Structures are given as structure tokens and as C-alpha cells.
Amino acid sequence: MDTKRVLTLYDQDRKQVRLFDKRREETSHLVRHISPNGEGLILYSNLKSTNVEEVIREQIVHFENTGCDFRWLVYQHDTPADLKDRLLAHGLEVEEPSAIVVLDIERASPVLLKPAAYDVRRIDDPRRVDDVMAIRSQAWPGNYSSKAQTLARRLINAPRSLSLHVAYMEGRPVSTAQVSFYEQGQFASLVGAVTLPRYRGRGLFTALVATLVQEARKRGKRFLDSDANQMSRPILERLGFQWLTEVHGCEWRIKRALPSGQMGHNTPRTG
């Protein structure tokens, strides 16, 4: 894979992408996406050392005025090179980096083009989203009510933007993954892939990825990217995904009024 060329295409996609249920706002220096509750996501920026401080302050003031938090994704190759450190100096919480890996679908391994060997089902009915959340909540404890509602709305209002699958064993949901599809660009995104611990090592993850790769291929996408964690990255790389870049999530939490005697501060988002 020509990493430099693919990275250029990836940047073009993240600059122009439109996300479900979010309002896209483009300025001369960045693109931000605003959720219905006002929280922000900065997915793309193109800054210089001469304007970076001003733009960072503008974003903080903007979201402070709206009373909302925001998240800034900083990729390894974003400019200026010290963007992450500058955000940290302004009070944003910087997460550990995660790897962005990419599969060139035209060169997909034969194993990814075979029919699934397990009971893998596409979730089209919003009422079946509970099967997805049952898996995620067991693997990653947390409150998933908001995410479940968003997935259900998406299945109803923008079904072509989402391919959501669950693998079952003995009728029980045990593994899940999804791909987000976008109207423009050459990339689709593999997210939310997880298998319950006792069912790992049986090829369920591979069966799900293969199912989603085949759909992306049919829909004319050239690349499938994934924000891979330490568990999924080795499996994805064995399946032909290649490292492209790294990304840090940087979180800003507005200062909210607390009971008398307590100090307000920015804290990282949880859940």
C-alpha cells in the first residue's frame, strides 16, 4: 500500500465527511461537527504556527459560550507538529494514542471474501439494537442508552449510512461490529467490533469483518479503516489491514457550577 497516497485520500475524506445526526460547520482552518445536544467534534484541521493559538482559543470560547463540551481529534501528521501539546497547554485532556489501520479492499485476502462460517445477522430492526448493546455492555461496562437510541434513529432515518451485524452462538448474541458508510469519498469505517471474552479465539471476529468487507466492496468503497485498540489491531493486521497513522482524542469539558466549597475543573469524558 502506498501509505502517502492513501493518507492524502484519507485526509480528503475526513475533511468532507458528513456524520449522521451532526451539523457540519466548516471554517477556513477546520471542520467541526455539532451533535443535537451541542457537543462538538473537530475531525479535521489545517493550522500553522502563526494561527494555531488563536484558533484554539476561538474553539474554547465558542463551546464555553454554548455551554457544551468538545472533542478534538489530532492525527500524527496534523500541523503544526506540536498541536497536541498546545491543546494540552490550553487545558484539554489528551488520551493515549490509537492506531488507524486501513484495508485496501481491492487487495483483500481470500479469507475475507468467503461466506461467513457462523450465524452472522444484519441488524435492520431498531428493536434488535438491544442485542448489540448487550454485547458491548458486557465487554465494556458503561451506560449505553444514548448510543442505543442513536443507532435506532440511524437505522430508521439513514439506514444506508450503517451496516450493523451480530454473530450468534446457540441463539445468543456474542460478537458485533459495524461499518459507517458516507455519501462521498473512498473510505468506510469499521467501528464497535467486540466479542464476549468466553467466545474469543473461534473466528467470530474474522467472520464479522469478512461480512462487512464484502458489503463495502459491493458498495464501491476502496478502503476500510478502523480505529484499532491493542486487542483488535493484531487481528486486523493479520487480515491485511495496514498501519496508516495515529490519533489522539483531546477532550474539553466546560467548567460547570458545583456545590459551594467544590472546585470546577475539566475532566476526561467517561463511558
Position 269 scores a pLDDT of 31
Report the DSSP beta bridge partners of residue 102: 225, 242
Structural domain boundaries of the chain?
A: 3-99+247-252, 102-245
Return the percentage of the chain with pLDDT > 70, whole number.
Answer: 94
User: Could you confirm whether domain 3-99+247-252 is CATH 3.40.630?
Assistant: yes
Residue 101: pLDDT above 70? yes
Position 143 scores a pLDDT of 86
Domain 102-245: give its CATH code.
3.40.630.30
* Side chain identity, residue 31: V
d(CA 75, CA 79): 9
- Provide the pLDDT confidence category of residue 54 given band limits of 50, 70 and 90: very high
Residue-wise pLDDT for 28-37, tens only, equals 999 999 999 9
Do the Cβ atoms of 185 and 143 come closer than 8 Å? no
- Provide the pLDDT confidence category of residue 249 given band limits of 50, 70 and 90: very high
Average pLDDT value for the chain: 92
pTM of the model: 0.89
Residue-wise pLDDT for 123-152, tens only, equals 999 999 999 999 999 988 888 888 999 999
d(CA 49, CA 194): 40
d(CA 29, CA 83): 13
Residue-wise pLDDT for 105-117, tens only, equals 999 999 999 998 8
Pairing of β 223-228 and β 162-169:
unpaired
Domains 3-99+247-252 and 102-245 share a fold: yes
